[in-house]
Amino acid sequence: MISQELSEITPVLLAGGSGTRLWPLSRKSYPKQFSNLIGDMSLFQASAQRLTTSEGIRFAAPITMTNADFRFIVGEQLQAIGIDPGAILIEPEGKNTAPAILAACLYSVAQHPDAILLVAPSDHVIPQVAAFHAAIALGLEQVAQGKMVTFGITPTRIETGYGYLELDALPKDRAVALKSFIEKPDTQSAEKMIEAGHYLWNAGIFLFKARDMIAAFEAYAPDLLQPVTASLKDGYPDLGFFRLAPEAWSQCADISVDYAVMEHARNLSVVPYSAGWSDLGGWDAVWQEQGPDAAGVVTSENATAIGCTNTLLRSEHGDQHLVGLGLENIIAVAMPDAVLVADMSKAQEVKQVVACLNTGGVRQAETFPKDYRPWGWFETLAIRGRFQVKRILVNPGASLSLQSHHHRSEHWVVVEGTATVTIDDAIKIITEGQSVYIPLGAVHRMQNPGKVPMVLIEVQTGAYLGEDDIIRYEDQYARS
């Protein structure tokens, strides 16, 4: 029997990855976890949503591990679905999962010595929430016995893109002791493991008492304890976030929790799960998850397939229609600024595209067409030598910084909503259809005083139009 106190779980959402295998939709500036890849919510929102209280299991507010660029996106997306954002810990730089999970553990035990954490990537698809909660309930029984739990996915095919868990016995809807972790296998080894029946896919989802995980780090990865502890101690709150101190954090090894701790621990149990799961680790996984038709074709709303087989056609812009004619085993993903066309068998190699584009200095390698900011977003509609046209959306109650520019003037035209505009000592309100001119060097700010998003068109003119031509005087988001 599980005590009421033991049944409360704090979710730890890992939300700092870049997801390069889903380029061009997923990029460094706006990775896949924040996109609506499947359904009406982002993967991050869906991950948080399924870790909310249900009958029999209580979840506390989450802890989210992310980086500075995504901190406002995390808070905004959680609030949009009615979830208390909880603690958002900002990693100064990516150091893989071991330092991040240890930081979440140390942070949690400082609040509650008996804290139980469920660590989950924020970019996986688990459609059957009730079945997943039932698996968590099985895991809680193991945690009550001092075990740390990992969740293993029942294989549905021969798969070389996942790591595997070798179990001590055949899984039969019960927790089984873990024998070993298996690296991503070749096809022949994967086939043998699936035939054996006591191997599961490694989902990278863990359930444990925070103090048990800290003890495991003390035993197997003590070199991480000092820098992570120091980074927490020297960290500081920042507008509702908690920034880990960068100097100590930089001393952490870049290592996964599997390598650092899990492969050495002797108190691990595996809970099998077979009700549907995908890590969406490539466009082939997206194609599979979206349910191909009888010809093996998946199309988005703005795509048409004619005489195609085993093909994914996806357009990410309402004004851009993608047509495939006579295609076979093809992935085609169209964004306003980049298009990917690839053989389905090369889906796992898309990350090489990003590396190649980065080598060539191609902006689209990492930069998303929409640039998300704490106040909303903007996208560039046109850019030439001495002018740039942007569409800008400002959220209700949000405000851009008080700023000036050395090299450009700006003309703003409001097309939706109302804006409060400051230009030097003057403050004016402009509404839909009205415009205002910002001379070069003028100190200015734009605010949305309304209850609906405000949209405007900005025309910049000048000798230099880079985003770094900004002098900030005041900023409610504490950007320098």
Assign residue 460 the CATH number of its domain.
Answer: 2.60.120.10
Identify the domain containing residue 257 by its residue range: 8-273
- Is 17 a domain residue? yes
Taking alpha carbons only, the member of 346, 354, 299, 345 closest to residue 322 is 299
What is the per-residue pLDDT for 3?
A: 42
Looking at the structure, tell me whether residues 221 and 123 fall in a common domain: yes
**Per-residue pLDDT for 45 more than 80?**
yes
Q: List pLDDT tens digits, range 152-203.
A: 999 999 988 889 999 988 887 789 999 999 999 999 999 999 999 999 999 9
Q: What is the largest CA-CA distance in the chain?
A: 76
Average of pLDDT values for 232-260? 95
| Residue whose token pair is 């553990």 | 105
What is the per-residue pLDDT for 4?
A: 38
pLDDT tier, 359 (very low <50, low <70, confident <90, very high otherwise): very high
**Per-residue pLDDT for 400 more than 50?**
yes
Looking at the structure, tell me whether residues 15 and 98 fall in a common domain: yes
Q: List pLDDT tens digits, range 272-290.
A: 999 999 999 899 999 999 9
**Per-residue pLDDT for 258 more than 50?**
yes
| Residue whose token pair is 């925070």 | 210
List, in sequence order, every beta strand (DSSP E) within 220-338: 236-238, 241-243, 268-273, 297-299, 303-306, 311-315, 322-325, 330-334
CA distances from 376 to 42, 69, 118, 448, 460 (A): 16, 13, 31, 11, 19
pLDDT tier, 480 (very low <50, low <70, confident <90, very high otherwise): low
- Is 457 a domain residue? yes
What is the per-residue pLDDT for 142?
A: 95
**Per-residue pLDDT for 477 more than 90?**
no
Looking at the structure, tell me whether residues 69 and 192 fall in a common domain: yes
**Per-residue pLDDT for 330 more than 70?**
yes
CA dihedral 378, 383, 388, 389 (to 10 degrees): -50
**Per-residue pLDDT for 317 more than 80?**
yes
* Domain termination residue (choose one: 216, 250, 273): 273
Q: Are 380 and 458 in contact (CB under 8 A)?
A: no
CA distance 88 to 433: 39
Amino acid at 414: V
Q: List pLDDT tens digits, range 52-104.
A: 988 778 999 999 999 998 999 999 999 999 999 999 999 999 999 999 999 99
Percent helix, strand, coil in the chain, to 5, is 25, 35, 40
Looking at the structure, tell me whether residues 242 and 343 fall in a common domain: no
Q: Is the peptide bond before 24 cis (omega within 30 degrees of 0)?
A: yes
Taking alpha carbons only, the member of 113, 11, 88, 12 closest to residue 54 is 11
- Is 364 a domain residue? no
**Per-residue pLDDT for 47 more than 70?**
yes
Looking at the structure, tell me whether residues 74 and 216 fall in a common domain: yes
Looking at the structure, tell me whether residues 246 and 376 fall in a common domain: no
**Per-residue pLDDT for 6 more than 90?**
no
- Is 480 a domain residue? no
Q: How many domains does the chain have?
A: 3
> And the tokens for 165?
């868990």
Q: What CATH number has the domain bearing residue 122?
A: 3.90.550.10
CA distances from 472 to 310, 370, 458 (A): 51, 22, 19
- Is 168 a domain residue? yes
Taking the model in full, what pTM does it have? Answer: 0.88
Looking at the structure, tell me whether residues 27 and 173 fall in a common domain: yes
- Is 122 a domain residue? yes
**Per-residue pLDDT for 7 more than 90?**
no
Looking at 221-362, list the stretches that DSSP marks H as alpha helix, in order from N- to C-terminal side. Answer: 222-233, 246-249, 257, 283-289, 350-359
Looking at the structure, tell me whether residues 355 and 232 fall in a common domain: no
* Domain termination residue (choose one: 332, 359, 386): 359
Looking at the structure, tell me whether residues 212 and 326 fall in a common domain: no
Looking at the structure, tell me whether residues 105 and 244 fall in a common domain: yes
What is the per-residue pLDDT for 17?
A: 82
- pLDDT > 90: what percent of the chain? 86
Q: Are 39 and 172 in contact (CB under 8 A)?
A: no
Amino acid at 425: D
DSSP 20-84: GGGTTTSBTTB-GGGS-SSSSS-HHHHHHHTTS-BTTBEE---EEEEEGGGHHHHHHHHHHTT--
* Domain termination residue (choose one: 249, 273, 297): 273
Looking at the structure, tell me whether residues 77 and 219 fall in a common domain: yes
pLDDT tier, 5 (very low <50, low <70, confident <90, very high otherwise): very low
**Per-residue pLDDT for 232 more than 90?**
yes
Looking at the structure, tell me whether residues 298 and 330 fall in a common domain: yes
- pLDDT > 70: what percent of the chain? 98
- Is 13 a domain residue? yes
Average of pLDDT values for 299-316? 97
- Is 2 a domain residue? no
For the chain, give the mean pLDDT.
93
Q: List pLDDT tens digits, range 402-451.
A: 999 999 999 999 999 999 999 999 999 999 999 999 999 999 999 999 99
**Per-residue pLDDT for 474 more than 70?**
yes
What is the per-residue pLDDT for 101?
A: 98
Span between the terminal Cα atoms of the chain, in Å: 53
Contact residues for 157 (Cβ-Cβ < 8 A; gap 6+): none
What is the per-residue pLDDT for 351?
A: 92
